[in-house]
Amino acid sequence: MEKNNEETGLFKKRFSHRQVFDCKREPLWPKKDTDFTVCLFAAPYNAVTGKQFPENDLINKFFYFEGLKGENDSIEKLSLWIADDINKTNSKCIVENGSIYGLTLDNFLYESEAGFNPSIQKGEKQAEKYPAEAFGGFGFYFSVNREFNYRDNDKVTWRSSVEKVTKFSVLEKIPFKEK
């Protein structure tokens, strides 16, 4: 295992609170070369606590990733953090490990390994509305270049040639633009 000490690609990028969302998605996970749509943007969850962030607690916060490279360029660990500023002041881990799906220069989905159990987060009556495959991790939509508001009618559709990122070097080398 090799810790990523140099910040490049995804690890250099900072995302504002208006670029990271919980959302409705169709289908549940991106599929290679197929339309993937996200909408109904809401404040994201803290997968460590299992609770949704209050919107006001996210104002002016930044999100960023840290990772560990495994053998043969695999992704050993990919954690998501929140901080008070781009310099990582008062940072807290909100997802201990997860995976990236549907990666493009403009959008991607990050799915935590921590399981989302609707009966705990939403109550048993609401949980009946969720399909069995929804009992996976917490999903986060990342808008790389655009900012959105919570509860607006925004909708984003994209296609990716990458279903799931499996190589650490892809994350290190993706040429995201800085604002």
pLDDT above 60 for 126: no
Contact between 106 and 158 (Cβ < 8 Å): yes
Indicate whether 114 pLDDT > 90: no
Q: Is 73 helix (H, G, I), strand (E, B) or coil?
A: helix
Of the candidates 156, 15, 173, the residue with the CA atom closest to the CA atom of residue 94: 15
Query: What average pLDDT does the segment 67-96 reach?
Result: 96
Mean pLDDT of 86-90: 96
**Amino acid found at 82:** I
Q: What is the pLDDT of residue 123?
A: 47
pTM: 0.86
Q: How confident is the model at residue 115 (pLDDT cuts 50, 70, 90)?
A: low
Confidence of residue 93 (pLDDT cuts 50, 70, 90): very high
C-alpha 23/C-alpha 17 separation (Å) is 14
For residue 88, give the H/E element and its range: none
Work out the pLDDT band at 138, boundaries 50, 70, 90. Answer: confident
With a pLDDT cut of 90, the percent of the chain lying above it is 72
Per-residue pLDDT averaged across 91-110, rounded? 96
Question: Mean pLDDT across the stretch 45-55?
Answer: 92
pLDDT of residue 177 exceeding 50, the answer is yes
**Alpha helical stretches, state H, 54-147:** 55-58, 118-121, 124-127
Burial of 26 (0-12, 13-18, 19+ CB in 10 A): exposed
Indicate if the pLDDT at residue 153 is higher than 50: yes
